Amino acid sequence: MNDPQTHSSRQDIENTVWEVRERYVNLSPIGSGAYGTVCSAMDRRTGNKVAIKKLYRPFQSEIFAKRAYRELKLLKHMKHENVIGLIDVFTPALTLDGFHDFYLVMPFMDADLNKVMGRLSEDRIQYLLYQILRGIKYIHSTGIIHRMLPDRHFYCPQVSLLRVSANNKISINLLQDLKPGNLAINKDCGLKIIDFGLARHTDSEMTGYVVTRWYRAPEIILNWRHYAQSVDIWSVGCIFAEMITGKILFKGKDYLDQLAQIMKITGTPSSDFIQKLDSMEARNYIRTLPYIKKKDFTSLFSNASPLAVDLLEKMLVLDADKRLSAAEALSHPYFEPFRDLEEETKPEPFDDSLDQLKLSVDLWKRHAFQEVMNFAPFSSLHKRPMETAL
């Protein structure tokens, strides 16, 4: 049970009053966006550095209140060492009437995967990729991840900012925007997925958001009839290739160029693939393309081991129905040094019964207060870090 906050310190950060538990000291702002500010801090109880997020006016409207509740609920539910989750959540309020703010405490991460691209040995690539897939397998099995609208002006590799879209629509339970910037790492080679719910409303809103496009599965660009969890495996394959070579694999200038870059390596799609496209324009466009033979991955990734090439080839399959799942990828011989079935956590069922309801601000606030009050910290046995750090 999360006891009400009785001992706290107050300070002004980014023109906002922060009132945090005395166990958290040395607060320093590290990022801010449309929905909140994030500070690093030292946890005196554990001696560890943490990231603390305070939402801006979480109960100013029904949309903000639902967003705040959902972020809290999702982060509380995530209990896996390769997915961002909560260390603590607290409020200075003693009663519901005084409940106006709450603070999310998460692990502090040193950097994101972008910082080490091209400087990784094969054993580190194996270990990082293994952790990515473990996290993805866990997230996929929850079935709770929804499409959300990003704050394109926010960047902070230390925390996950989960947001419900403005119209509160619920969509498919996929990552869809997995990229190196969404993978946080520590010096001990530990990795966490920190943004597992980003997506966009329309293509027009994605103008200029180039990084996402480079890792996006071709079936999303081409508006396939159905998406599966394998869209994320494509993204992982792109990240895997970049870890090997230090270069972005498919660096398209726009959507058509993105498809062209993909097909230069995967080859021209088969007729079976084309039939799976919803858009007649997309079908006709693909049919007009000249025939391209699939590249030899062994030559393309000559510095990689045969097992790495084999796994990569099975991830970067144009037809999503023939792509590996996260569980199948984890079973690949490439991960034999790290595989431990007992450590692959299975999530508890997620209660999303409130998702479809239209509630008042006061009711969302009441539910959020209850979630804060009944928070119980998650403790798990972490894997022994690699002998050599990043």
Give the residue numbers of the binding site for ATP: 54
Number of Cβ within 10 Å of residue 248's Cβ equals 19
**Rounded Cα–Cα distance for residues 170 and 36 (Å):** 23
Distance of CA 316 to the CA centre of its chain: 20
Q: Tokens 């590799």, residue? A: 157
123 is catalytic: no
CA angle 65, 70, 71 (to 5 degrees): 100
Q: Give me the catalytic one of 101, 177, 195, 232.
A: 177
Distance of CA 117 to the CA centre of its chain: 18
Report the candidate in 50, 44, 11, 45 with the shortest Cα–Cα distance to residue 30: 50
Binding residues: 54
Q: Is 172 exposed, middle or buried (0-12, 13-18, 19+ CB in 10 A)?
A: middle
DSSP 4: P
| The two three-digit tokens of residue 285, written as one number | 């466009």
Number of Cβ within 10 Å of residue 93's Cβ equals 18
| The two three-digit tokens of residue 99, written as one number | 């409940």
* Residues designated catalytic: 177
